[in-house]
Amino acid sequence: MRALTIRQPWAGAIAHQSKRVENRTWKLPAKHEGARILIHAGAQPDRDAQVYGDHLDVYSAIVAIATITGCHWSDEWQCCGYWAFEKAYHWTLGDVIALPEPVPAKGALGFWTPAADVATAVEMQLEAVTR
């Protein structure tokens, strides 16, 4: 399973709040539509973000799993919900499952493949959560 690094507080908002759109400057490659991905909280925060709540202070860790359900460009603010920015590609997310415990991992740009031990730790938590 591939992973996508997202800066905090956005990764935490996907995992623990209602954020179901990821704003990007680049179009989702068609091969990733419908894919389950790991949501990785990056090492650096987005210092301009104004999101508050719990679970937004975890860095360099897998925090959730989600399905990418679609992608579209929008010139409009909030075209598909509160979290959607204007003049961005909106990657829509579904079936989000927050992990009970963040799994430490070093991220990367774009889609990346986590190390085997990270993937195993995520799978173990996912099995426990979905029982």
CATH number assigned to the domain comprising residue 32: 2.30.130.30
pLDDT per residue as tens digits for the range 60-113: 999 999 999 999 999 998 898 899 999 999 999 999 999 999 999 999 999 999
pLDDT per residue as tens digits for the range 33-51: 999 999 999 999 999 999 9
Place of tokens 């090492």: 43
User: Under a CB-based contact definition with an 8 Å cutoff, are residues 38 and 14 in contact?
Assistant: no
**Structural domain for 73, as ranges:** 2-129
pTM exceeds 0.85, yes or no: yes
Give the whole-angstrom CA distance, residue 21 versus residue 80. Answer: 8
Q: How many domains does the chain have?
A: 1
